[in-house]
Structure 1
Amino acid sequence: MIYIKEAILHIFDLNSNEPIFSFAGLDLTEKFTFDYLHAMIEKVEGSDNMKTGILSEDNSLVQSFNAIQDDFTETTKTLTEKFFSITKLNPEIPPADLLFVYFTLDEVPCLGLFKLNYSDSITHYISYEEETLTNQLIVNRSILPNARQAIQEGMVLQLSNLEYHVIEKKHLITELAEKMFYFTELFLEDKPQPSLKENISMIKKAVQKTSKAFNDEEFQVLADTKDALVHSMTEENVIDNKVIAETLYGNNQEKKEKFFEEIKELGYVDKAPAEVAVVGPKYTKQKFRLDNGIEISIPIELYRDPEVVEFINNPDGTTSVIIKNIEKIKNLF
């Protein structure tokens, strides 16, 4: 359960390239504000892009994070200064406001930091010229994301143990002439573990490379991989690479060794927490695109039922797909 105690918004002034600090918190009695803060927290906690890390005690921000509960407003100013000192030197990083939220999550004290990137929107304004009222259009370049929009960068930090959950994007850092995760690498000065989405991507790449090395039919192995992933996430709430390897390769030690070699090289983290609900509805179906343009979507629980669907390898090297026991067909036009 989320209980919000304080929240404050600091603005990045596009004209001066400097922050405009707030000296008082947001009004939490406003329902739309309260709902907005809840939405920001949930967008980080419920994202398959979320990465996890733990700050060391000698991290340069620990002193500030420890002061949050005692002096929320002044501490957020200090954090904002460091954050904007990075973004203002790197024009590829989108300008934004910083929203800080001090709250408890299941009675654990937490700090939320959310980067609200600006977007452009057209609005009206009223001008008076020579006593003539004229309605005009103007571009507002500081529109914040609404509660339904995904945010690209944000963090929830548990103040008790300095464990953080973060979503972020790579941006070009001018001084280094390369893209990097500046939120964690430059602001937090830390490197989190890969996200659930990144871990799944690594598994997929390792399977593809293993399939290529042994000339296996890639579409079939990837379908089996998705099946194994869903099973591991549903039953164990983790992605266990040993379970994946056992499901795909059985007693073939050579393929297993190749698979383990590939995922290690890619940086995969074994048995990282994973929930199938987080990765979304695409993991409820097996989807195939055939080279003749036909696309097939099969519920994952029916994919392995030979009474429903069958893939047949033909002598000429082609593959046939048989859909069986159809009683009724509905057009989804």
Structure 2
Amino acid sequence: MIYIQQAILHILDINTNEPIYSLAGLDITEKFTLDYIHAMIEKVEDSDNMKEGTLPEDSPVVGMLANVKDDFVAATRALTDKFYGITKLNYEIPAADLLFVQFTLDEVACLGMFKLNYSDSITHHVSQEDDTLTNHLIVNRAILPSARQAIQEGMVLNLESMQYHVLEKKHMITELAEKRFYFTEMFLEDEPKPSLKENIAMIKKAVQKTSKAFNDEEFVALAETKQALVHSMEEENVIDNQVVADRLFGDNYAKKEKFFQEVEELGYVDRAPAEVAVAGPKFSKQKLRLDNGIEISIPMDLYQDAEVVEFINNPDGTISVMIKNIEKIKNLF
């Protein structure tokens, strides 16, 4: 249960020499505002791109939050100053507004910080000179994301444990001449754990390398990997590396050793929280693209049903796919 206590919006327009600070909070009695804030919180909490970490006691951000419950406006202004000090020096970081929210999540005190990047939109403008009224088209360059749109950067921070959930995107840092995750590296000054999406990508890459090392069919290994991931997420709400390895390689200890070596080198975090629902609908199906251009989408629970689909290894080294027992075909045009 989310209970919104207060919220404030500060403007980081790079065309100004300093942030435009709000001296008062948003009106959270308005349903539109409440719905928007709820949507921002859920976009961070329900994303497979979400990373988590914990701020150390000596973190500058922790110091800025010492009085956040007593002086919300001043604390958010200090955070805005630190954030603006980074963005104003790096022109490729998009201009934005910062939305701060103090709330409780399941009765735990939290702070939300959401970077609302600007986008362009066309609107009309009416002018009148003498007796001539003219309608014009103009570009509004400070349109904020709607409640339905994804956001690139945002954070939900547990004010008791200082554990945070964050969405972020790499941007070019002028001084370093390279793209960095500036939100965590430069603003939070911390390194979070990989996201669910990143963990899954590491598992996939490790399986590909293991398959190549042992001359296994990659498409078979990846299909089995997806099933193993779904099983682990459904059973334990985590990705258990051991469960994945057992389902993929059984008693083949050489393959397991190679797989474990690869995931460790890639930075995978074992038993990190994970849910199939968060991982996305792509985990409900096995999707295959054949080298002749044909694409096949098979529901996960039917993929290994020999009465529905069969993969046949031909003597010439090619593979045939047989789809069986079809009663009716519908064109999805």
Q: TM-score over 0.5 for the alignment?
A: yes
- 1:5 aligns with 5
Task: Give 1:249-264 correspondences, 5 Å limit.
Answer: 249-264=249-264
Task: Give 1:293-312 correspondences, 5 Å limit.
Answer: 293-312=293-312
- 1:136 aligns with 136
The CA distance in 1 between the partners of 2:61 and 2:93, in whole Å, is 21
Task: Give 1:114-193 correspondences, 5 Å limit.
Answer: 114-193=114-193
The CA distance in 2 between the partners of 1:118 and 1:13, in whole Å, is 9
For the residue of structure 2 that corresponds to 1:5, the secondary structure is strand
1:267-322 CA-to-partner distances (Å, cap 9, x unmatched) read 00000000000011110000101111111111001111111111111111100111
- 2:101 aligns with 101
- Indicate conservation of the 8 Å contact 1:80/1:98, yes or no: yes
- 1:60 aligns with 60
Displacement, 1:18? 2.1
Q: Which runs of 4+ in 1 moved over 3 A?
A: none
For the residue of structure 1 that corresponds to 2:184, the secondary structure is helix
Q: How many residues align?
A: 333
- 1:85 aligns with 85
Report whether the alignment pairs 1:43 with 2:43.
yes
1:91-145 CA-to-partner distances (Å, cap 9, x unmatched) read 1111100000000000000000000000000111112233422111111100000
AA partner of residue 214 (structure 2):
F
- Indicate conservation of the 8 Å contact 2:76/2:100, yes or no: yes
Query: Mean alpha-carbon deviation: is it higher for 304-313 or for 45-54?
Result: 304-313
AA partner of residue 280 (structure 1):
G
For the residue of structure 1 that corresponds to 2:301, the secondary structure is coil
- Indicate conservation of the 8 Å contact 2:108/2:158, yes or no: yes
- 2:25 aligns with 25
The CA distance in 2 between the partners of 1:58 and 1:13, in whole Å, is 30
- Indicate conservation of the 8 Å contact 2:48/2:278, yes or no: yes
- Indicate conservation of the 8 Å contact 1:230/1:276, yes or no: yes
- 1:211 aligns with 211
For the residue of structure 2 that corresponds to 1:301, the secondary structure is helix
The CA distance in 2 between the partners of 1:50 and 1:9, in whole Å, is 23
The CA distance in 2 between the partners of 1:159 and 1:14, in whole Å, is 30
The CA distance in 1 between the partners of 2:77 and 2:131, in whole Å, is 44
Instruction: Please provide the CA RMSD for this pair.
Output: 0.9
- 1:239 aligns with 239
- 1:282 aligns with 282
- Indicate conservation of the 8 Å contact 1:66/1:159, yes or no: no
The CA distance in 1 between the partners of 2:297 and 2:208, in whole Å, is 21
AA partner of residue 99 (structure 1):
L
For the residue of structure 1 that corresponds to 2:164, the secondary structure is strand
Query: Mean alpha-carbon deviation: is it higher for 6-15 or for 191-200?
Result: 6-15
Q: TM-score, normalised by structure 2?
A: 0.98
AA partner of residue 187 (structure 2):
F
The CA distance in 2 between the partners of 1:22 and 1:131, in whole Å, is 40
Structure 1 unaligned regions, length at least 5? none
- Indicate conservation of the 8 Å contact 1:124/1:138, yes or no: yes
The CA distance in 1 between the partners of 2:59 and 2:273, in whole Å, is 25
- 1:329 aligns with 329
AA partner of residue 87 (structure 1):
T
The CA distance in 2 between the partners of 1:197 and 1:62, in whole Å, is 28
1:141-186 CA-to-partner distances (Å, cap 9, x unmatched) read 0000000000000000000000000000011100011111000000
The CA distance in 1 between the partners of 2:314 and 2:66, in whole Å, is 66
For the residue of structure 1 that corresponds to 2:262, the secondary structure is helix
Structure 2 unaligned regions, length at least 5? none
AA partner of residue 170 (structure 1):
K
- 1:201 aligns with 201
